[in-house]
Structure 1
Amino acid sequence: MTRRLLTHLRHVDLAVPDYDEQREFYAGVWGLTEVANDTGLSFLAAEGSPEQYVVRLRKAQEKRLDLIAFGAADTGDVDALADSLIAAGVRLISTPGELGTLGGGYGFRFFDVDGRTVEVSAEVETRRHRRIEEKEAIPVRLSHVVLNSPDLNRTRAWYKQHLSFALSDTLSSPRMGELMHFMRINPQHHSLALARGPHTSLHHISFEMRGIDEYMRGTGRLLRAGVRKIWGPGRHLAGDNTFSYFFDPHGNTVEYTTELEQLDEDAWHPHVYDLSQPEVADQWGTANPMNELVAKESFNDPDRGCFVAPPV
């Protein structure tokens, strides 16, 4: 196995026109903690995570995915990745150097094949975090992010070639072919998944809960608060994780999950799961049926930030 230069998913940054409403949602009913707020930027941490923040909100006229940030083990790996990307002709936004964002660190940014901004960093200051207690139904950490791509296999090949993401599993259907690839950079079944969609956009952001009870309590809290549920509660077959999907105030899909599968990478062989089989989408059979209407809910709006770097 090729030595990976990425270690984990750090944070997902969103530009939002409805900034105050989004801050209230994520720091309120969703259960994150606002740790800094400065001139239209809000940094939101998960109480169980050492990351400085897992979501950043930026006030903007247009909704977009600002960036996805991954960690590296050290500055040497950051430099090695930058050199590799430059040699391969990948378009860098910045070269490796000291970061001016919360927690500092050393890193750089670049565009992926679809034009999304990706950041890789090391030596970011860790945040004092804590153990999430029994029945405390707030996110422990960021789990994974899923992206829509109009050319699914081109995007998969790019992340494999340039960032050493390995394929864990694929969702397919007899009528539509391959629909989603689950990709990993560590033993977690997926830190990134790629979904086939009509345009480049964010599919969903997923947050890990302490356990099944906390996951269900959080799901119930959102339902009681009137947050619009898209799909769930249920349990996927690929990754073996639970799921409850909701809309944030501006139509981005966010998920509560728990118990995402940890793989023995030396022994693992990717599966191709037939999504027309109901147990593939939901092993429990408790969620509303997966159909084309549910799938379209996560297409999101076309991303206006492709090949346009965020201002901060």
Structure 2
Amino acid sequence: MQIDDREMVTVALPGAAAPLLRAHLAAVALTSPDPQALAGFYQDALGYEGQWLDGHWTGRLGARRLMIGPGAANNVDHTIFAVPYAQALSDLRGRLASAGISVVEARSQALSGAAIRFSDPDGNVLLFGVADPAEEIDMAGAARLQHIVFASDEAPAMVRFYCDIVGFTPSDYVRDEGQDLTSAFLRCGEEHHSLAVFRAPRKRLDHLCYDVTTWTDIRDWADRFAARHIKLRWGPGRHGPGNNLFLFINDPDGNWLEFSTELEQVVGSRPVKTWVHEERTLNSWGSAFLRS
């Protein structure tokens, strides 16, 4: 799929009155060369409650899940999104079929009933299914798994796939001096983004993000990490796209984890915002990690 990213919408949203997709990030399955150590980190540092089955760990923090199984570090086995009702899943299945995307029927404990499995242009495996109503009850004070970011050396193709076929809505684009796409922030509800794509030299997981309620929670999580001698790797700071406050740490496998609050809420339609690829876009308070 050859796509010129400069053809992407930058002024108004097509079909903004009726978004194609409403969903939320329900679960992420990571692989690790030492699943036991990685699961131990998430239980101690983040407060997950989990259990083991056949060498795979499933943890819950609030209403979202994290799974860990054997494999390479810094790798996502699959990502799960939940839609609110069966018709939304049927509509997605139809869009995938019309685009010639191979779909496999699947099941997951993070979802209610049937689900579908398919892959994006980079080979990232996705499961979509109907949300379990019980899964939407978050425990007070728990960080909520909120978004995932994929790095890609084919970012324009990835963004077109997620927007035109899966049905995400673009919130913000970031472009370099040549107007080539460097980042895209995509939403599937009122939160500014639940998935993003960053341009990078190779395909990989960029980071996972946990949403917390207030700026004070950012302080409290930083204190929690300090008590465990876990260094802050970036932040605190404020992103341009999304306007959210953030800090980052690494887990033992080197996966980047973001803790964020005050993410922009998009109610109804709005034009796609375009940002310049520079440090102040990624962090208006100071330094930034520019992926490309």
Normalised TM-score (structure 2): 0.86
SS in 2 for 1:234: strand
Q: Is this contact kept in 2: 1:146–1:203, CA < 8 A? A: yes
Using a 3 Å threshold, how does the CA distance of structure 1 residues 269 and 33 change in structure 2: closer, same or farther? same
1:221 to 216, 221, 224: 224
In the TM superposition, 1:191-230 aligns within 5 A as 191-230=194-233
Q: Is this contact kept in 2: 1:165–1:185, CA < 8 A? A: yes
1:15 to 25, 28, 31: 31
Q: Which string of whole-angstrom CA distances, capped at 9 and with x for unpartnered residues, describes residues 240-299 of structure 1?
A: 111111111111111111111101332x11221124252x2223x2x5x1155xx48xxx
Q: Which amino acid aligns with 2:82?
A: G
Partner residue, 1:101: 109
Q: Which string of whole-angstrom CA distances, capped at 9 and with x for unpartnered residues, describes residues 74-95 of structure 1?
A: 2233233223212311122x13
Q: Is this contact kept in 1: 2:117–2:128, CA < 8 A? A: yes
Partner residue, 1:184: 187
Q: Is this contact kept in 1: 2:95–2:166, CA < 8 A? A: no
Using a 3 Å threshold, how does the CA distance of structure 1 residues 177 and 224 change in structure 2: closer, same or farther? farther
Q: In the TM superposition, what is the alpha-carbon distance from 1:178 to its structure 2 partner?
A: 2.8
What RMSD in Å do the two structures reach over aligned CA positions?
2.3
Partner residue, 2:61: 46
Q: Which amino acid aligns with 2:36?
A: D
Residues matched between the structures, number: 276
Q: Distance in 1 between matches of 2:82 and 2:178?
A: 38
Q: Is this contact kept in 1: 2:27–2:110, CA < 8 A? A: no
Partner residue, 1:145: 148
Q: In the TM superposition, what is the alpha-carbon distance from 1:229 to its structure 2 partner?
A: 2.9
1:86 to 97, 115, 126: 97
Q: Which amino acid aligns with 1:261?
A: E
Q: Distance in 1 between matches of 2:145 and 2:182?
A: 23
SS in 2 for 1:54: strand
Point out where structure 2 has 5 or more consecutive residues left out of the alignment.
Answer: 1-14
Using a 3 Å threshold, how does the CA distance of structure 1 residues 240 and 57 change in structure 2: closer, same or farther? same
SS in 1 for 2:216: helix
Q: Distance in 2 between matches of 1:271 and 1:5?
A: 20
Q: Distance in 2 between matches of 1:57 and 1:184?
A: 26
Q: Distance in 1 between matches of 2:164 and 2:111?
A: 29
Q: Distance in 2 between matches of 1:39 and 1:15?
A: 14
Q: Is this contact kept in 2: 1:173–1:274, CA < 8 A? A: yes
Q: Is this contact kept in 2: 1:219–1:256, CA < 8 A? A: no
Q: Distance in 2 between matches of 1:42 and 1:125?
A: 23
Q: In the TM superposition, what is the alpha-carbon distance from 1:66 to its structure 2 partner?
A: 0.7
Percent same amino acid at aligned positions?
23
Higher strand fraction: Structure 1 or Structure 2?
Answer: 2
In the TM superposition, 1:3-82 aligns within 5 A as 3-34=19-50, 36-47=51-62, 49=63, 53-60=64-71, 64-82=75-93
In the TM superposition, 1:128-139 aligns within 5 A as 129=137, 131-132=139-140, 136=141, 138-139=142-143
Q: Which string of whole-angstrom CA distances, capped at 9 and with x for unpartnered residues, describes residues 9-53 of structure 1?
A: 11111111111111111111123322x321222122222x3xxx4
Q: Is this contact kept in 2: 1:13–1:56, CA < 8 A? A: yes
Q: Distance in 1 between matches of 2:157 and 2:57?
A: 33
Q: Distance in 1 between matches of 2:178 and 2:249?
A: 27
Q: Distance in 1 between matches of 2:244 and 2:22?
A: 23
Using a 3 Å threshold, how does the CA distance of structure 1 residues 87 and 6 change in structure 2: closer, same or farther? same
Q: In the TM superposition, what is the alpha-carbon distance from 1:170 to its structure 2 partner?
A: 1.6
Q: Distance in 1 between matches of 2:52 and 2:39?
A: 10
Q: In the TM superposition, what is the alpha-carbon distance from 1:234 to its structure 2 partner?
A: 0.8
Partner residue, 1:271: 273
Q: Distance in 2 between matches of 1:156 and 1:112?
A: 10
Q: Distance in 2 between matches of 1:175 and 1:290?
A: 20
Q: Distance in 2 between matches of 1:22 and 1:220?
A: 21
Q: Distance in 1 between matches of 2:74 and 2:138?
A: 32
Q: Distance in 2 between matches of 1:169 and 1:176?
A: 14
Partner residue, 1:290: 288
Q: Is this contact kept in 1: 2:32–2:38, CA < 8 A? A: yes
Q: Which string of whole-angstrom CA distances, capped at 9 and with x for unpartnered residues, describes residues 107-135 of structure 1?
A: 11001111110000115362484552xxx
Normalised TM-score (structure 1): 0.81
Q: Which amino acid aligns with 1:270?
A: V
Q: In the TM superposition, what is the alpha-carbon distance from 1:63 to its structure 2 partner?
A: 5.2
SS in 2 for 1:229: coil
Q: Is this contact kept in 2: 1:5–1:73, CA < 8 A? A: no
Using a 3 Å threshold, how does the CA distance of structure 1 residues 12 and 276 change in structure 2: closer, same or farther? same
